[in-house]
Amino acid sequence: MAHSRLNELIEKATKLFAEKGFAASSMRDLAHEMGIEAASLYSHIHSKEEMLEIICFKKADQFLAALDEVNDIYFNAEEKLRMAIKLHVSIICKNPNASKVFIDEWRHLEEPHKLKFIEKRNLYELGILEILKTGEQENLFKEVDLKFATLTILSTVNWINQWYNPQGKMKPEEIANELSNFILTGLKK
């Protein structure tokens, strides 16, 4: 497979960055994981930061693609929101390490990539916000501060990354369902 060694490198970097944080991860740590010398890493990548870019932007594009999928198919705002949440949770659970880097480590990106990353993230937030706005217009959702509600929803769907265990008893679909119900109807009877 072409680039398979590069793929392996990115995978190991993802795990390392997720576990120790970008700044606390050294190229020598990573080289050790790969079973090679630190200097040899640079035949696969140009810099430590480049790996962070690859990880963050790949994840950002996955989320944006999910948004397109939602907007292409579903009509009702509640269904749209449920679908968006389901896809979001699915993306996170499919690769918790990469998600952790996407959520917590992007700030170590250098310009101009950092700015570009924030733009993509904003685009995603806007997509969720549009769904909520539609729900308001359809008289399905309460009238709330849309920005506030968007960020609150994203916080709950991102947080699962902190405790999600692939070996745990809850499957991504169940998590998404519970979360959607919580977001839509709250805690009160």
Partner DNA sequence: CCTACCGATCGGTAGG
CA nearest to 151, candidates 132, 165, 176, 137? 132
76 binds, among a copy of itself, DNA, none (CB under 5 to 8 A by kind): none
d(CA 65, CA 84): 11
d(CA 17, CA 51): 10
Span near DNA by CB under 7 A; candidates 41-49, 73-81, 127-135, 148-156: 41-49
Q: Does 158 bind a copy of itself (CB under 8 A)?
A: yes
68 binds, among a copy of itself, DNA, none (CB under 5 to 8 A by kind): none
Q: Does 81 bind DNA (CB under 7 A)?
A: no
Residue (73 or 144) nearer to a copy of itself, CB: 144
d(CA 100, CA 106): 10
Binding residues for a copy of itself restricted to 46-105, rule: CB under 8 A? 78, 81, 104
Q: How many Cβ atoms are within 10 Å of 111's Cβ, its own excluded?
A: 7
Q: Does 151 bind DNA (CB under 7 A)?
A: no
d(CA 161, CA 118): 20
Distance of CA 64 to the CA centre of its chain: 10
Q: Does 162 bind a copy of itself (CB under 8 A)?
A: yes
d(CA 29, CA 13): 9
Q: Which of 43, 148, 165, 168 binds a copy of itself (CB under 8 A)?
A: 148
Q: Does 26 bind DNA (CB under 7 A)?
A: yes
Q: Which residues bind DNA (CB under 7 A)?
A: 5, 25-29, 34, 36-40, 42-44, 46-49
